[in-house]
Amino acid sequence: MSNWQLICKLDDIPQLGARVVRRPSGGDIAVFRTSDDKVFALHDKCPHKGGPLSQGIVHGRRVTCPLHGWNIGLDDGRAVAPDVGSCAGFKVKVEGGEVFLAP
């Protein structure tokens, strides 16, 4: 059962950028927007050393962690080889220009 919450307008997230969603507990979620306006949500914590992925450079379907440059796949949360690791993903959708997250 999904518990969709409206978090912001699509235009509140820059293309090839991200916003941070703060939860009361459980850690921040990073919500990314790609150049073709697809939206993805990941735990805002790099599997390497916990860097905030929301602050990374977004390219294609990936984000580069700002701390040590690991590349993480936006759709599966997995580190791009040869690095190994993954972070949790969350359900997110865009309807009528608004972004909904199921945290």
Cα–Cα nearest to 2, from 90, 79, 83:
90
Report, in Å, the least distance between residue 80 CB and other proteins: 10
Distance CA 58, CA 64 (A): 7
* Binding site residues, other proteins, CB under 8 A: 3, 5, 7-8, 12, 14-17, 19-26, 28, 31, 35-36, 49-52, 55-60, 62, 64, 66-69, 71, 82, 90, 101, 103
Q: Which is nearer to other proteins, 50 or 85 (CB)?
A: 50
